[in-house]
Structure 1
Amino acid sequence: MLLRYLLITTCCLAAAADPLLEIDAAFHRAYAEARAGALARQGPVLVVSGDSLQLYRGGTLAAEAVIRPPRYHRLKGLSHVPLAIRLAAGDRGRLASLRENLAALEPGTDGVRAPSLAFLDGALARGEVSGLDAYCAAMRGPLEALAREAAALELEAMEREVRAWRRDLLAADWDRVRVVVIGSHMAREGEVGWQFFTRLLGEAREGGRLVFAEEKWDPREALKLLATHMVDGDLGRAFFGDPDRMHRDVLAPGARIWLDSHPLPR
């Protein structure tokens, strides 16, 4: 009796299934398969990820190089000194700790150490922080100089490695190479690797040979995003005559039309 009830219930549920839900499920299955196929077929991929530049073939790491030398990290650490002072301005203990570590560094010509020590010494001697905004403004030039040198170091290393790989590993495949730049949300605009490859490939738009993988620090997820761009590019080209169409919210044009005809009160 129970078995008969279950069979009848199953048949009724199947008969009552929404065919549109079935179609939607079929689309998602086909989309996942298409993305997996694109990932398997794609040519060489260069991935810019933090300190390293990586070369993938068939989803497998084939080569890797460091693009941020030790000097880069020293510059980064020095640039964090004024930022740390501003953020710790209300905590005497943290300021004292910063002062101790800063004093332990070898004197340099970076323009940060000496004025920062002087500022901390004054704040600790008085028992209060004053002139913080003036100190921060004075650090603008040294911070920009550190950033320029750090960018140059990274770009020089990247150019050197890409030139060698292009000659030794990618001579026959260069026109098929795609690039994924992994980065954070706040550093997306003007990211160093992105600037480098937009100029090298002559392709500023995202979704063709160049993709920005925001916060996808696992290279496997970054490669999956690249495959998503490839599948969406084909769909956008086929249905809308625009390979970038699916890289934007599909509802965006309709939303603009509605908002234009329904002014919102302010």
Structure 2
Amino acid sequence: MNTNSKKNGWCLSILLTAMLCTGWQKPSAAEEQNQLSALNNKFREFYAAARGHEIEASTPLILCYADRLVLLNGSQREEVANIKDRYTTFKTVAHIPLALYCLLYKEPTIELSRQKLLDFKALVERARSELKDHDLSMKELDRQYKMVDACLTFIDKALAQKQISAKELQEFTRSLRSDILQNAYLAVSSQLAIIDQTVGNWRQKLGKDFDKIKIVIIGGHMPRLRNSNFQYFCRLLKEKEEGNRIIYMEGLNSESDALNLLGTHILDEGVAVSFFSDKWRMHRDLLSDGAAQYLKEHPPLTGK
């Protein structure tokens, strides 16, 4: 045996002796899994810290809720309501026929909903008497009366007939379509005018810092497509799509949720560029390419 072989043998003997003396055992599968979990948790910790850094550096920022705007600039915070009486009035009147549809579309006979109809009629009549006290022109007021009266007439018809066919309900709802859309236009015009004035004031206050502004729009799932506030900020910032300076958040509505989403967008853009040379790559599921390849090779329910 040569010197190197003897040396290697001694080293192995020493190592085995040390392992026996210290009670060394091969890690169990559970322990190895725990180490993987710990490793993944450490990634989450680093990611959260990096995201927090991006949040701190992200101002000035405008959070656009359905009913208010919030400007965050360093430690400063300013909030302005973007809904006033006109918006609420136009939208509420437009909701009257929608409420009737929701009540009647599944009930061809009225007996099951008769008391609800009577109660709703009384509520509509009380609201009608208050319309004159709201910020409407005479022409606008007359059109609201027309819509309300059409709804009251339909309620009386339903109560008298004791049933409403699907055809009758559809004829009623479609007869009010143009008025509903006009109310929607007037409501959103009121809101966007307030938003524009508020953003103009903030732009003047921020000066050159306004050029760095980012927007998070907090809204629901259904109004996401062509969302009115999203359209406004796209026009303002000359953005054609979401994800760069404008982010749409649905399903969550707290300020911390909005900040975390913004931080995620900014951090993931850096990740996407660093890993994939494509700043939009993290805007789709990281697993998406693999999923597409797998499903191409293994179509669902084919047994392949």
TM above 0.5: yes
Structure 1 partner of 2:160: 125
1:154 to 2:196 alignment = no
Aligned pair partner of 1:95 in 110, 117, 123: 117
Query: What does the per-residue CA deviation read over 1:57-99, in whole Å, with 9 as the maximum and x for residues that have no partner?
Result: 23x5521212111110111111110111111124111111221
Using the alignment, how far apart are the partners of 1:82 and 1:129 within structure 2?
14
Aligned pair partner of 2:80 in 65, 82, 90: 65
Aligned pair partner of 2:172 in 135, 138, 149: 135
1:1-150 superposed matches below 5 A: 16-17=31-32, 20-58=36-74, 60=75, 62-89=77-104, 90=107, 91-104=113-126, 105-106=128-129, 108-110=142-144, 111-130=146-165, 131-150=168-187
| Cα contact 1:54–1:61 (8 A) shared by 2 | no
Aligned pair partner of 2:278 in 219, 242, 247: 242
Bigger mean CA offset, 21-30 vs 45-54: 21-30
Using the alignment, how far apart are the partners of 1:80 and 1:253 within structure 2?
44
Structure with more of its chain in helix, by fraction: 2
TM-score, normalised by the number of residues in structure 2? 0.78
1:176 to 2:192 alignment = no
Cα deviation, residue 126, structure 1: 2.5
Query: What does the per-residue CA deviation read over 1:149-201, in whole Å, with 9 as the maximum and x for residues that have no partner?
Result: 1111111111111111101x211201111100000111111111111111111
SS at match of 2:206: coil
Letter in 2 for 1:86: Y
TM-score, normalised by the number of residues in structure 1? 0.88
Query: What does the per-residue CA deviation read over 1:180-229, in whole Å, with 9 as the maximum and x for residues that have no partner?
Result: 00001111111111111111111233222111111221112111110111
C-alpha RMSD of the superposition: 2.5
Using the alignment, how far apart are the partners of 1:94 and 1:185 within structure 2?
29
| Cα contact 1:72–1:153 (8 A) shared by 2 | yes
Using the alignment, how far apart are the partners of 1:188 and 1:9 within structure 2?
59
SS at match of 1:254: helix
Length, aligned pairs only: 258
Structure 2 partner of 1:262: 298
CA pair 123-252 structure 1, distance change in 2 beyond 3 A: same
Using the alignment, how far apart are the partners of 2:64 and 2:23 within structure 1?
57
Using the alignment, how far apart are the partners of 2:195 and 2:93 within structure 1?
23
Using the alignment, how far apart are the partners of 1:170 and 1:71 within structure 2?
30
Letter in 1 for 2:122: E
CA pair 240-115 structure 1, distance change in 2 beyond 3 A: same
| Cα contact 1:180–1:211 (8 A) shared by 2 | yes
Kindly, what percent of the aligned residue pairs are identical? 30
Cα deviation, residue 241, structure 1: 1.1
